[in-house]
Amino acid sequence: MSKVIVICGATATGKSDIAIEIAQEIGAEIINADSMQLYRGMDIGTAKLTVEERKGIPHHLLDVLDVSEDSTVAWYQEQARAAITEIHGRGKDAVIV
């Protein structure tokens, strides 16, 4: 059975690095849970990983909205559940960070 692993904590405390390590170890994919990292161009101040820092691990819900677009908890929940279903459908675990 596929799992969902959640890593939570304050901004810039190393959560993403831990998520990368876990994802590499178990072959998981990462789902972003940071409301500001949903937005394209919001890299400074969010500690968003660069493409290189993601080390080839698929990341979901990063840079998916323009800063002029609104998001809601309901929208995020729908998107995150769809990503989890997609990831699990490939037989992989999901790491939410």
User: Domain holding 78: CATH number?
Assistant: 3.40.50.300
How many folded domains does the chain comprise? 1
pLDDT tens for each residue of 1-52: 899 999 999 877 899 999 999 999 999 999 999 999 999 988 877 888 889 9
Quote the pTM value: 0.92
More confident residue, 47 or 88: 88
50 phi/psi in degrees, rounded to 5:
-75, 170
Task: List own/partner pairs for 41-48 with CB under 8 A and 24 or more apart.
Answer: 41/67, 42/67, 46/11, 47/11, 47/12, 47/16
pLDDT score, position 44: 76
Q: How high is the pLDDT of residue 2?
A: 94
Instruction: Look up the domain containing 61 and give its range.
Output: 4-96
Tell me: pLDDT of 83 over 90.
yes
CB 42 within 8 A of CB 70: no
